[in-house]
């Protein structure tokens, strides 16, 4: 089975981002595929290279990167939500005349079209957080 995950919560805003990460690991361990992980709304903060939690706490952004590297996962960050919240790659930093980007490695900025495409090709789309 092929899954797409949508993460709406920041790493330390609620348990949602951590639950999404554990779910992703369980899906992969069970032999399923993850087509894409899409970070939206406050979830874009999972892609910050500047997150620095205390050493005795889980570092969710780092763990997402490690999982992506191990399983060659596609980690896509909604560009509109990211720029609005100050998460920029080098190109967007130049475009908005900022001194540097802060998008972590293994994450990429893209539009909602990536979420639509992932929804079409996946058997299941599972959303974490965003309960407004």
Q: What DSSP string runs through 38-91?
A: EE-GGGGGGGBTT----TTS--HHHHHHHHHHHHT--EEEEHHHHHHTT---HH
Question: What are the mean pLDDT values of the chain's consecutive 10-residue runs (132 residues total)?
Answer: 97 92 98 98 96 89 96 97 97 95 96 96 95 57
**What's the number of domains the chain is made of?**
1
According to the model, what pLDDT value does residue 85 have? 97
Q: In this predicted structure, what is the pLDDT of residue 7? A: 98
Report pLDDT for 127. Answer: 97
Give the Cα separation of 85 and 58 in Å (integer).
Answer: 22
Residue 82 is part of a domain; what is its CATH number? Answer: 3.40.1260.10
pTM for the full predicted model: 0.94
Are the C-beta atoms of residues 59 and 51 closer than 8 Å to each other?
Answer: yes
pLDDT at 132: 55
Q: Where in the sequence is the domain holding 57, given as residue range(s)?
A: 2-128
Q: What is the DSSP letter of 112?
A: T
Active site residues: 78
* Residues comprising the chain, all counted: 132
């Amino acid at each position: 089975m092929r899954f797409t995950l949508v993460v709406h919560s920041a790493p330390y805003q609620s348990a949602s981002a951590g639950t999404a990460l554990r779910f992703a690991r369980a899906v992969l361990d069970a032999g399923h595929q993850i087509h894409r992980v899409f970070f939206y709304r406050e979830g874009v903060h999972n892609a910050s290279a500047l997150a620095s939690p205390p050493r005795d706490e889980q570092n969710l952004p780092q763990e997402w990167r490690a999982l992506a590297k191990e399983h060659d996962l596609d980690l896509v960050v909604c560009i509109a939500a990211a720029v609005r919240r100050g998460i920029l790659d080098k190109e967007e930093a130049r475009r908005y005349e900022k001194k540097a980007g802060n998008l972590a490695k293994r994450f990429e900025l893209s539009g909602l079209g990536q979420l639509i495409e992932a929804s079409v090709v996946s058997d299941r789309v599972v959303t974490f957080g965003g309960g407004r």
